[in-house]
Amino acid sequence: MQKLQTKAEILINKEIAPGHFKMALCIEGFAGKARPGQFLHIRAGAGYEPLLRRPISVHRISDRQDIVELLYKVNGKGTQLMSRRSKGTFLDVIGPLGNGFKVPKGQSNFVLIAGGMGVAPLVALADRLATYRKKAITVIIGAKDAASVVCVKEFQEIGAKVIVVTEDGSRGDRGLATAMLEKIIGDFDIRKASLRAGPRSVSDVTIGDYAPEVGLYACGPMGMLASVAKIVKPYKIKTQGSFEERMGCGVGACFGCAIKTQRGYERVCKEGPVFDLADIVWD
Amino acid sequence: MKKINTNNALEIDIGGLKLANPVMTASGTFGYTQECRELISVSELGAVITKSITLQPSPGNRPPRLWETTAGLLNAIGIQNEGLDDFVHSKLPLLKSAGTRIVASIAGVCRQDYEALAKALDATDVDAIEVNISCPNIEHKSPTTLFAQDPYTTSCIIRSVKKQTDKPVIAKLSPNVTDIGLIARAAEKAGADAVSMINTLIGMDVDIARGKPRLGNITGGLSGPAIKPVALAMVWQAYHRVKIPIIGIGGIMSTEDAIAFFLCGASAVQIGTANFVDPAAASNIIRGLRLYLKNRGMKNIRELIGQLKV
């Protein structure tokens, strides 16, 4: 798949929640190129402050049109500059980069868990999953407070069941998305599996044995991904997580965005940003 | 072997390394070319300096490895690479198909490492060897933090490398010294065919909210536009101390930056951090230099070297 470095026209750049922006870009020749989970490497300004590009995951992609949507939160100088760019101006972008989410054959029950801005790439994934027949998509969105909950409508329109969890309880259940995941896993399969399993102990039961159709995907802060990995480990659920790390080149040349895996340090930009959570070494 | 166009105003000979143009990509910033091939035409480059090769595979440092500073970049990657055997058998054939000169950068923790690397690479078709004695992110078996901080250790390693190879040998120097002219001179006396300068400046940054360093390795090497004035001064200082060619490195982002290095005495330049900002940076600089020479009626880039009016 050919990568592009090009000027992308900004079609939309609007604040959809405090500090959260949605940007639509028109990139000539982009149609059909990106997969959910991949990212664009964007030069936010023209000067040396900030110096480096910013990796922003693709939020919604069109297979037929040269349009890609991004969802980003203003965190620093780069995203601040991006937020000030107006419609009709052009951004220097490289992409699509990295490896996206994989959907193994035979899966039709999908659980997506997002922490904060982790929703961004999961909408693209849900879009893709929704094209599969006989699918069921459950999305857990975890956020700090009600103001930080975004994309509920997008997931619902796709046909997903959305569960919102906020740390302060201002919207949905109070607590962490990971606690909700534990509950769902319990409800979803273990009880069912235990009933079927008869005398076997729960620890012997894997969703893989009884529900090979389950696909679990996670995106959010490192702490959340570590918790997800811990939760799913006893059940041997194969889980893909999308990771973030500070990047230099974005194409695999500099080895700056390393993450520790069972195979040694790998590049978030090249081998990732999506990794099997079981492959990650959590320090 | 790539044919050099004799009418090319940009062609240059760096201690026996004949280049179609004096713009190379710096070690560690361009991978082994395959990562960038979909974005730029690698054959346009004067040369590609490989990421440093170590004798054995090296895992690199613990993350985070990068931190952006004001107009600069701190890195503590720690020369993650698959080692010499992998380089020779899998990376080099790919590199050679890129259609440009390939300079192998080598790094080690002791003199014997450099010797073994140079000996092995002499038997390959790399075009030259750059001896990285100045990476601030790996620990050496040396009384100083870096080999390039001491004229004696610099001299020992370059002399050893020279004994193992007939290929042009470039010593990559560190700015973390009191007198870079002294070190450049030691490299020259030991037989270096050229010196490249500067490697990164030792630096660090602190997350005051957590009271922790920004980098997993605590300190790292600073590169990018922020270090250009330091690099220019050092190239200028070394230019008056050695006769061998100097390859200027340090924050070169544009044609104007490159010209400043030539005026200070560089015979070629390496582009590093700029590759991250714009993969086409080196190609743009090559085009810019060609235009600059044409507009001034200069027949060769050599007319520019060391012509700073002081």
Q: Is the pLDDT of residue A206 over 80?
A: no
Between chains, do A265 and B63 touch, taking CB under 8 Å as contact?
yes
Closest by Cα among A31, A33, A34, A27 to A5: A27
Between chains, do A254 and B225 touch, taking CB under 8 Å as contact?
no
Is B51 in contact with B26 (CB distance < 8 Å)? no
| A52 chain-B contacts, CB cut-off 8 A | 68, 73, 276-277
Residues on chain A bordering chain B, Cβ-to-Cβ distance under 8 angstroms: 2-3, 5, 43, 48-53, 92, 94, 245-260, 264-265, 270, 283
Residue B30 CA to residue B26 CA, distance in Å, equals 7
Is A246 in contact with A258 (CB distance < 8 Å)? no
Q: Is the pLDDT of residue B138 over 80?
A: no
Q: Is the pLDDT of residue A276 over 50?
A: yes
Which of these ranges, A81-90, A240-249, B35-44, B259-268, has the smallest mean pLDDT? B35-44
**pLDDT tens figures, A164-176:** 999 999 999 999 9
The burial class, CB within 10 Å (0-12 / 13-18 / 19+), for B141 is exposed
Q: Is the pLDDT of residue B8 over 90?
A: no
B229 close contact with A: CB closer than 8 A: no
Confidence of residue B4 (pLDDT cuts 50, 70, 90): very low
Confidence of residue A197 (pLDDT cuts 50, 70, 90): very low
Closest by Cα among B290, B306, B304, B297 to B8: B290
Task: Give me the long-range contacts of A275-278 (CB less than 8 A, separation at least 24).
Answer: A275/A240, A275/A241, A275/A243, A276/A238, A276/A239, A276/A240, A276/A241, A277/A218, A277/A225, A277/A228, A277/A229, A277/A232, A277/A239, A277/A240, A277/A241, A278/A229, A278/A233, A278/A238, A278/A239
pTM score of the predicted model: 0.92
Mean pLDDT, all residues of chain B: 94
**pLDDT tens figures, A106-156:** 777 889 999 999 999 999 999 999 888 778 899 999 999 999 999 999 999
Tell me the nearest-neighbour CA distance from A247 into chain B, angstroms: 7
Which of A52, A92, A258 is facing B276, going by the closest CB pair?
Answer: A52
Confidence of residue B218 (pLDDT cuts 50, 70, 90): very high
Tell me the nearest-neighbour CA distance from A172 into chain B, angstroms: 31
Closest by Cα among A117, A151, A96 to B39: A96
Which of B36, B63, B75 is facing A251, going by the closest CB pair?
Answer: B36
**What's the mean pLDDT in B270-278?**
97
Mean pLDDT, all residues of chain A: 88
Tell me the nearest-neighbour CA distance from B81 into chain A, angstroms: 9
Give the percent of chain B with pLDDT over 90.
89
Interface test with A, best of B66, B135, B222, B278 (most A CBs within 10 A): B66
Which of A43, A52, A255 is facing B73, going by the closest CB pair?
Answer: A52
Residue B200, token pair as written in the block? 């990164």
Interface ipTM: 0.91
- Give the per-residue pLDDT at A34: 93
Q: How many of the other CB atoms lie within 10 Å of CB of B307? A: 10
